[in-house]
Amino acid sequence: MLSATARTKAPAASQAARLAKVALASTQTASNPQAGLRLRLVATQYCHGCRSFSTTPVSQLKDFFPAKDTHLISTTPPAWPHPGYTMEEMKAVVPAHRKPRTFGDWVAWKTVRFARYCMDKATGMDREQQQTDKKNPTTAVEAQKPLTEAQWLIRFVFLESIAGVPGMVGGMLRHLGSLRRMKRDNGWIETLLEESYNERMHLLTFMKMCEPGWFMKLMIIGAQGVFFNGMFVMYLLNPKIVHRFVGYLEEEAVHTYTRSIKEIEDGHLPRWTDPQFRIPDIAVQYWRMPEGHQTMRDLILYIRADEAGHRGVNHTFGNLNQREDPNPFVSKFKDNKERPNPSLKTAGFERDEVV
């Protein structure tokens, strides 16, 4: 699949946590101006933009999930190390839309669009100003009114808290199905669980930048309750539709991140382009982001490439025989044929291309 690029030795998580605590305990940031700036940026964003979503006073802003300091453990590496991307691979990602071909596809797509509509309503986005090209709602990346950093973070946190659910449900149900039927799964489970793990890393990264208030937390809990159970029942009834649904959800994610990258490049998000702005250490470590490529734009390029991978994988899974076909993305092919790369195959692979 995708190859790893240059590696960087990131600071230890425990050191980052200590820096964060120091910066919070005192307004004096002379000893480490960057750590202080990052926390102030967090606080500013969260005051101005997350109004209806954040109620915690800035003074109570804390470092979430600081690294646990124990007698014996220094660090806990990610369970699934990230494969890494080259800059060319990340820049080659484009928003795209696979036209629905069956009734099931249409249901999946309309469900995603309805969820998008509800999210826009709930977050108070003016839909007229957010969509300039109504004919191509999943690929147009120019909006009349750019969002602020805080509005983007609301979108990212909500999107990522939802995106981590389907892979876990699919992986869990396929795992149980394999036990129940006493049959091999042929490589789907690991890819699905890794997808949900990767989505959770996206969420944890954004959580380091914006603390949601009680209203947003309530919405996330409610959405997860509805979404998990909906996914569970639908995956039992028709897993193909669920994979198609996730394919369309990932189309939305690629679209969202492409638009935010454009707004960064167009200079609409000055806090994120401030040379002093530091992305969270957790992100630098997970994606092994090389020195000199650790800006917010770089981070979103990595995340968008992940979403493009999920888009290709799930659209492909939606084309396969759910019971019999092996997972082509972890399989070895005959005649030294190369393993398919889902990232740039926007509509996924047809069954006869990969099985």
Asked if 122 contacts 116 with a C-beta cutoff of 8 angstroms, the reply is: no
* For Fe ion, the closer CB: 253 or 305: 253
Q: Which two tokens stand for residue 48?
A: 């101005």
* For Fe ion, the closer CB: 47 or 219: 219
Shortest Å, Cβ 167 to Fe ion? 9
* For Fe ion, the closer CB: 293 or 310: 310
CB nearest Fe ion: which residue? 202
Shortest Å, Cβ 202 to Fe ion? 4
Question: Which ranges of the chain does DSSP label H, i.e. alpha helix?
Answer: 13-25, 33-48, 87-91, 103-122, 127-130, 149-181, 188-207, 214-237, 239-265, 270-273, 281-287, 296-317, 351-354
Asked if 234 contacts 270 with a C-beta cutoff of 8 angstroms, the reply is: no
* For Fe ion, the closer CB: 243 or 310: 310
Shortest Å, Cβ 274 to Fe ion? 24
* For Fe ion, the closer CB: 19 or 163: 163
* For Fe ion, the closer CB: 35 or 282: 282
Shortest Å, Cβ 168 to Fe ion? 13
Asked if 97 contacts 136 with a C-beta cutoff of 8 angstroms, the reply is: yes
* For Fe ion, the closer CB: 89 or 250: 250
Shortest Å, Cβ 265 to Fe ion? 20
Q: Which two tokens stand for residue 268?
A: 């609409």
Shortest Å, Cβ 119 to Fe ion? 14
Q: Which stretch binds Fe ion (CB under 5 A): 45-53, 177-185, 192-200, 234-242?
A: 192-200
Q: Which two tokens stand for residue 47?
A: 């005051």
The contacts of residue 72 (CB under 8 Å, 6+ apart) are: none
- In the region spanning residues 7 to 66, those forming contacts with Fe ion, defined by CB under 5 A, are none
Instruction: Please give the size of the binding site for Fe ion, defined by CB under 5 A.
Output: 8
- In the region spanning residues 91 to 150, those forming contacts with Fe ion, defined by CB under 5 A, are none
- In the region spanning residues 302 to 321, those forming contacts with Fe ion, defined by CB under 5 A, are 307, 310
- In the region spanning residues 199 to 228, those forming contacts with Fe ion, defined by CB under 5 A, are 199, 202
* For Fe ion, the closer CB: 241 or 254: 254
- In the region spanning residues 139 to 168, those forming contacts with Fe ion, defined by CB under 5 A, are 160, 163
Sign, CA dihedral 288-298-141-207, equals positive
The continuous run of DSSP H or E covering 140 comes out as none
Sign, CA dihedral 160-166-171-173, equals positive
Q: Which two tokens stand for residue 110?
A: 């309309």
* For Fe ion, the closer CB: 61 or 96: 96
Asked if 61 contacts 67 with a C-beta cutoff of 8 angstroms, the reply is: no
Among residues 126, 116, 110, 127, the alpha carbon closest in space to that of 158 is found at 116
* For Fe ion, the closer CB: 256 or 295: 256
AA letter at 333: F
Token match 């190369």: residue? 338
> Does the footprint of Fe ion cover residue 193 (CB under 5 A)?
no
- In the region spanning residues 232 to 261, those forming contacts with Fe ion, defined by CB under 5 A, are 250, 253
- As a whole number of angstroms, the distance between CA 310 and CA 257 comes to 14
Shortest Å, Cβ 246 to Fe ion? 8
The secondary structure of 181-224 as a DSSP string is: HT----SHHHHHHHHHHHHHHHHHHHHTT----HHHHHHHHHHH
Asked if 1 contacts 329 with a C-beta cutoff of 8 angstroms, the reply is: yes
Which residues sit at the interface with Fe ion, rule CB under 5 A?
160, 163, 199, 202, 250, 253, 307, 310
